[in-house]
Chains A and B, each alone.
Chain A
Amino acid sequence: MRLALPLVVSALLFAMGVFGVLVRRNAVLVLMSVELMLNAANLNLVAFDAWWSDTLHGGQVMTLFVITIAAAEVGLGLAIVLKVFRTRGTSDLDDLGLLNERAETEQLAEFDGDGPQRDLRSEAGTPDVTEPEATR
């Protein structure tokens, strides 16, 4: 069998994984696209193992390790996604921009759970600290 066939399949599969990671908004779907990329790498490992006629089967053992690590990764990743969903109420990556400096203030207000109140307070322009001095 020509080596080019598995190489072409794995390169295209990897590119699809890249596309999915960049374009998807749901965190679980991004993890699924990462699985596609890992599978492309696995296919390459197996193809090169067969091409090399490796008696130690280095490529296949490495693929076994990659599958194990992928299982651990997806377990932990989904646990994190569930935790994020429980605290923030969404798993949409576009809404999870707490560390994004452009949207910092809106996100912080949302995160505290009293976004509208905080917005009113900031619109009034009187921070809480100055109020006691004014009354004094």
Chain B
Amino acid sequence: MNGVELAFVLVGAVALGSGFLVVTTTRIVHSALWLAVCLGAVAGCFLLLTAELLAWVQLLIYVGAVVVLVLFALMLTRAPIGPTPGAPRGRVFLAAGVATATALVLLGTLLAGMGDEVVDLDGTGVGDGEAVGSALFRGWVLPFELLSVLLLAALVGAIVLSRRRQDEDGR
């Protein structure tokens, strides 16, 4: 195991540990904060896999915007600060069973198919702004423009949904 693999194992362990806390902690706000740690660790994984631009995008959009948005939503829906009662025990066991089955299927498929492959990190080009930018604006221009329309639609939709109308004041 070389240095990069060791670093990846450490960052991946942080991502998995904080991800586990996101779905199991009883305090809702703590869950959102652990989500920030988990997404930051995934950004570290991106960085180790030579996706340099994506790591910064992940930090800016996920940790910077999405987690803050989630925290605002938790405050606006008056989420309790203290511990909340968890789900019934039967549902926890059912969900754990489904999640374990999902993990087994995914791990089995991926490791059986590509378990022995090695990523040649020196041979692959670094995904910095120049490489991703030229790929984006040469081969992926149409999806890129479509996404800008999607973002505009989402913006307008979010404003319309969260606007309080005059005639339905009490609702």
Contacts and interface: CB of A to CB of B under 8 A. Distances in A.
Q: Please determine whether chains A and B interact with each other in the same assembly.
A: yes
Interface of A: 1-9, 11-20, 22-26, 28-29, 31-33, 35-36, 39, 42-43, 46-47, 49-51, 53-58, 60-61, 63-65, 67-76, 78-83, 85-87, 91
Contact of B99 (A3, A18, A67): A18
A46 B106 CA distance: 17
Given A22-B94, A71-B151, 17 more contacts: A5-B8, A9-B12, A26-B77, A31-B70, A36-B38, A46-B45, A50-B119, A65-B144, A68-B61, A68-B147, A69-B150, A78-B69, A78-B72, A80-B161, A81-B73, A82-B162, A91-B77
The A interface is mostly helix, strand or loop, or mixed, namely helix
Contacts, number: 256
The secondary structure that dominates the B interface is helix
Nearest to A5: B8
Interface of B: 2, 4-5, 8-9, 12, 15-16, 19-20, 22-23, 28, 31-32, 35, 38-39, 42, 45-46, 48-51, 53-54, 57-58, 61-62, 65-66, 69-70, 72-74, 76-77, 79, 84, 86-87, 91-92, 94-96, 98-100, 102-103, 106-107, 110-111, 114-121, 123-125, 127, 131-132, 135-136, 138-140, 143-144, 147, 150-151, 153-155, 157-158, 161-162, 164, 171
Given A11-B107, A15-B106, A53 B120 contact: yes
A50 B86 CA distance: 40
B103 A15 contact: yes
Given A1-B8, A46-B51, A74-B70, A67 B58 contact: yes
5 contacts: A4-B110, A9-B12, A15-B103, A75-B69, A86-B171
A11 B9 CA distance: 14
Contacts of B22: 16, 20, 32-33, 36
Contacts of B28: 26, 28-29
Nearest to A68: B147
A83 B18 CA distance: 30
Given A9-B45, A19-B95, A72 B76 contact: no
10 closest Cβ pairs, A-B complex = A20-B23, A22-B95, A15-B103, A72-B154, A19-B99, A11-B106, A9-B12, A79-B161, A23-B95, A3-B117
